[in-house]
Amino acid sequence: MIKVGIVGGTGYTGVELLRILSQHPEVNIQAITSRKEAGMSVAELFPSLRGKIALEFSDPANTELDKCNVVFFATPNGIAMQQTKFLLDAGVRVIDLAADFRIQDVSEWEKWYGMPHACPDLLVEAIYGLPEVNRDKIRVARLVANPGCYPTAVQLGFLPLLETGIIDTDHLIADVKSGVSGAGRNAGVHTLFAEASDNFKAYGVPGHRHLPEIKQGLSNIADRLVGLTFVPHLTPMIRGIHATLYAKLTANVDLHALYENRYVNEPFIDVLPAGGHPETRSVRGSNFCRIAVHRPQDGDTVVILAVTDNLVKGAAGQAVQNMNLMFGFHETLGIDQIAQLP
């Protein structure tokens, strides 16, 4: 049994993390912090957790997080980097669900996130928490940078093609849709029901904060700098990521066999039968990524379809998957829930 702390447990990612960890047989949740809700019971804010979590939110300044075995940061960008060094020095392992440690280039991070990095020396140590790529490194990591929701779907979709070097890496296209929960729990006009419902739009076309993370990951897989056009979209649903990915083939291979062979031993990757079209509802509430690969009209363009739940495999579920690896538990422990349907 390990002692777990959560910093910032009041957002959508935080409550998803609580839902998962409260059912994990090897976890004892020690503390959940929130400056604003300090003193309020978790069940009062999140009635779904009544009878599962008896804790109150505590002020992070008065919480002994250094007594935990692992601390999750489900906080806005810029918070984890202020506290991580202290926790690591105390022997606590850290999993950051925000972006503080995802991008290795300090100047690139500061450009996209608009603030100086508080501990750039830790960027070298941080392991990018995509288990399908960095499983062995995650097992021994002290600090894991949990991937973003868009980057998870895009990288898993392109991964087999980049590893085998059978596509033109200069002109990759990622056309990706997200549910409204991806914008977080804070109030905003664009996420009001009257604004987001019955509506569909692209955003961030000139540049999105996840772009450098995706390019870094794809370039590391391909072992060369890739060219990527990334266009995110907001869809009128609560949960879900749907990535439609395009690349030009440079070799003639059995694409379906390539994907099946690459992911045959991956517990959370489901490659659909040839001709399949994955749906976001097929992964809702689960840690699965479902993928289909197509070659329209037997041409030289490959189209990959990848769906995930942005709050689970795109955030909290993947964080627990990383925790399982770090502490020697079975990788699927506590996160093998079947998707919710309807």
Catalytic residue positions, numbered? 149
Half-sphere exposure of 112 (CA within 13 A, CB side): 20
What span, in angstroms and rounded, lies between the C-alpha atoms of 182 and 314?
Answer: 9
DSSP characters over 260-296: HHHHTT-TTEEEPPTT----GGGTTTSS-EEEEEE-G
Residue 229: Cβ within 10 Å count? 12
Beta bridge partners of 289: 269
DSSP characters over 48-93: GGTTT---BEE-GGG--GGGSSEEEE-S-TTSHHHHHHHHHHTT-E
Residue 288 CA: distances (Å) to CA of 42, 238, 313 = 27, 17, 6
